[in-house]
Amino acid sequence: MKKLITIILFFCLSASAFAQTQKVKNLTTFDDKKLHFGFTIGVNTMDFRLEHYRPIGLNPEFSEWTGNMYNEESPIDSVSVVQADVAEQVPGLTVAIVSSLRLGEYFDLRFLPGLSFGERRLTYNVPIYDINETSSKALEYYSIKSTYIDLPLLVKYKSSRLNNQRPYLIAGPAFRVDISKTGKEELVRVKRGGFYLEGGIGWDNYLRFFRLSTELKVSLGLGNMLNSGPDETQRQYYTTAVKKLTSNVFTLSFHFE
């Protein structure tokens, strides 16, 4: 019995000593730098939050379609309910430059200008006809492609470093400008610029020669991004059915610093 107790105590002391063993720390002075730079590669998905007029006649700008596009009369009138939704999440690409300013032991100010390429696919509860398409058949979805210039200014709060690991939180505002082509003939037009509120979590890994950070971030649009409707060559109700459209972006990033 005494031998068993001795073995157990010895095992516990050995396990405790092993748990407290410190690994060799990499980049021990990295966080002491006042300013450092890096780059980011990430994957994003873009989304819309949509509010609708139900029925569509509640929109004072609604006017019934009176044309005969594709030899098919439109069944949409003031009592119709036309609703759009994002069909699926389409992966996109994000690249950026990292500029990080040390504010203190636990806080950094980060500016990450970059580009985000993505797509949103809208489906409707009514057939989708686009005058820009060569075929007169209804579309499965309407694609809105975006190329954003991202200008986020974020505060990073870091926990205490544990060996070569350091989790963190990040939050702050961002401004995005869509530089992709948009025209008056498009079914649904989105404003080029808008403000976002961003927040996320991440994990710093201090490797031998650089720091690799994995970060998951959500960007919530703050304003109505819906632009005016298309010209009269297109059916108007795809836009006039929407009361408010806000943009969301979800990004999984890998920072190399």
Read off the pLDDT of residues 186-203 as tens digits, 9 standing for 90 and up.
888 889 899 999 999 999
66 confidence band (pLDDT: 50, 70, 90): low
pLDDT band of residue 251 (cuts 50, 70, 90) is: very high
pLDDT given for residue 182 in this prediction: 64
pLDDT at residue 1 in the model: 44
SS (H, E, C) the chain: CHHHHHHHHHHHHHHHHHHCCCCCCCCCCHHHCCEEEEEEEEEEEEEEEEEECCCHHHCCCCCCCCCCHHHCCCCCCCCCCCCEEEEEECEEEEEEEEEEEECCCCEEEEECCEEEEEEEEEEECCCECCCCCCCCCCECCEEEEEEEEEEEEEEEEECCCECCEEEEEEEEEEEEEECCCCCCCCCCCECCEEEEEEEEEEEEEECCCCEEEEEEEEEEECCCCECCCCCCCCCCHHHHCEEEEEEEEEEEEEEEC
The arithmetic mean of pLDDT across residues 15-40, rounded, is 75
The C-alpha R_g of the chain, in whole angstroms, comes to 26
Rounded to the nearest integer, the mean pLDDT of the chain is 86
At 77, is the pLDDT very low, low, confident or very high (cuts 50, 70, 90)? confident
With a cut of 90, say whether residue 115 has pLDDT above it.
Answer: yes
For CA atoms 199, 200, 206, 210, give the dihedral sign.
negative
Confidence label for 22 from pLDDT (cuts 50, 70 and 90): low
Q: Positive or negative CA dihedral for 178, 111, 172, 86?
A: positive
Report the predicted TM-score, pTM, of the whole model to 2 decimal places.
0.83
- Beta-bridged to residue 203, according to DSSP, are 167, 214
Q: Residue 212 has what pLDDT? A: 96
